[in-house]
Amino acid sequence: MVPADHGVFAEYEEYGIEDPRICRIGEEFFITYSAYSRHGVRIGLVKTADFKSVERVAIMTQADCRNLVLFPKKFGDRFARLDRPHTQIAPWSIWISYSPDLIHWGDSRVVMKPAPYHWDQMKIGPGATPIETEKGWLSLYHGVFQTMDGAIYRLGCALHDSDDPAKILGIADDWILQPEDPWEVTGYVHNVVFTCGAIPEDDGTVKIYWGGADTVLCAGTAEIETLCALCVSSSRAP
């Protein structure tokens, strides 16, 4: 994908597109991405069946909304998403919204906020497409802590109810990944691990992909059951 060069999408993608999240629904793959322009940042949606060409579907949000992930199934007759709008009152929290068609969204509510005096106290945002497990929906998210040397981005995990994803069953109190390797500590934006994708495997593991210092792409594995257990055994308030 490259920014659109004509039509309404071109106006809202003129400064670039980034942070794609892929979600399979049925036989189609939907990709959400951040679209930057002079109007701010919004979230675009495209779909593809073969990853050779894409069809632009919608601009899904107002300005200043990022990190949008779709749930890969409907709840009743509605799709659901997690995103991170910005407000001055409750900055950089994770919200949930619902839609009948992936285009028109509403019934929005906040589900997670940054925790004061915590590793994610500055801001949080959805990371990879939520993963359906026997315990609930496993969601990977990034959390940011501000220091005198700049922000540190880490990864955490949360567990949403299987039938009502607006209900948080638990949030792991500790992070699951932080910048440690040289290519995560030093780079274009130092001290950053940032995920947009995770793939569950049949053996109960998940492959997690993350950007290191906005410079390189990294990958690692984790046990899905272990991550789910962390969310409930050592949980913080949402």
CATH number for 53: 2.115.10.20
| Domain of 111, in residue numbers | 7-233
pLDDT digit string (tens) for 195-220? 999 999 999 999 999 999 999 999 99
pLDDT digit string (tens) for 223-232? 999 999 999 9
pLDDT averaged over every residue in the chain: 96
2 part of a folded domain? no
238 part of a folded domain? no
189 part of a folded domain? yes
121 part of a folded domain? yes
Query: SS3 helix, strand, coil % of the chain, rounded to 5?
Result: 10, 50, 40
pLDDT tier at 127, thresholds 50, 70, 90: very high
pLDDT digit string (tens) for 174-189? 999 999 999 999 999 9
Whose tokens are 């107002």? That residue is 62
**Domains held by the chain: number:** 1
CA distances from 16 to 5, 40, 95, 119 (A): 11, 11, 24, 30
Q: What angle do CA 229, 82, 62 make, to 5 degrees?
A: 160
1 part of a folded domain? no
35 part of a folded domain? yes
